[in-house]
């Protein structure tokens, strides 16, 4: 049985997870960059709608650094689980194993990233459900009767 839908969703999910990894790395890099921090401070000071005493730039920077690691870890787990599942679905080896790999990848990406990685998680979840629901076609011989 062809599993083109599951394969395509898995590939798109892996690409989204890889892009999500780069977003996490960008957030981590920007939280460590002196240029970004100085730009953030000058923007906060020059904005007339904001009160400079109310803004804690250090808290914003520490939040960015803290949230970047779960994003990176979740995205890498999504790429790993997606890659294993796509390799197994391409060989059409075991659709139940592939379904579980997609669903585990979806849960890990969605939970660890605190919902930020919803797109790869949804794609993996749909592919996992498709692996369980779609059954191979059984050829019935019309001359054969089962009594």
| Mutual angle of helices 95-112 and 4-32, in 10-degree steps | 30
Residue 42 belongs to some domain of the structure: no
Total domains present in the chain? 1
Residue 78 placed within a domain:
yes
Say what the pLDDT of residue 75 is. Answer: 92
Q: Which two tokens stand for residue 2?
A: 């062809």
| Predicted pLDDT at 5 | 86
pLDDT of residue 52: 63
**Predicted local distance difference test score (pLDDT) of residue 44:** 76
Report if residue 37 sits inside a domain: no
Examine residue 111 and state whether it is found in any structural domain, yes or no. Answer: yes
pLDDT of residue 109: 92
Say how far apart CA 31 and CA 116 lie, in whole Å. Answer: 18
Structural domain of 102? 4-28+65-133
Within-domain flag for 51: no
Q: Would you state the structure tokens that stand for residue 83, as one six-digit string? A: 């890659």
In tens digits, the chain (147 residues) has pLDDT values of 678 888 899 999 999 999 999 999 999 998 888 898 888 878 877 777 777 666 777 888 888 889 999 999 999 999 999 999 888 888 777 888 889 999 999 999 999 988 888 999 999 999 999 988 876 656 666 666 665
Domain annotation covers residue 12 = yes
Q: Residue 75's closest CA among 19, 130, 34, 146?
A: 19
Distance from the first to the final alpha carbon of the chain: 29
Distance CA 58, CA 53 (A): 13
pTM of the model: 0.78
In a domain, residue 126? The reply is: yes
Q: How many CB atoms lie within 10 A of CB 6?
A: 24
Residue 141 forms part of a structural domain? no
State the pLDDT at residue 124: 93
């Amino acid at each position: 049985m062809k599993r083109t839908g599951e394969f395509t969703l898995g590939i798109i999910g892996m690409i989204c997870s890889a892009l999500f990894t780069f977003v996490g790395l960008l957030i981590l890099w920007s939280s460590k960059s002196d240029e970004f921090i100085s730009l953030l401070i000058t923007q906060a000071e020059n904005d007339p709608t904001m009160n400079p005493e109310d803004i804690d730039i250090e808290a914003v920077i520490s939040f960015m650094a803290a949230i970047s690691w779960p994003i990176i870890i979740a995205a890498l787990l999504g790429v790993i689980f997606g890659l294993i599942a796509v390799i197994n679905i391409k060989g059409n080896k075991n659709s139940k194993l592939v379904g579980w790999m997609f669903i585990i990848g979806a849960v890990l990406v969605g939970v660890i990233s605190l919902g930020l990685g919803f797109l790869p998680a949804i794609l993996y979840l749909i592919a996992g459900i498709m692996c369980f629901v779609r059954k191979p076609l059984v050829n019935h011989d019309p001359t054969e009767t089962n009594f």
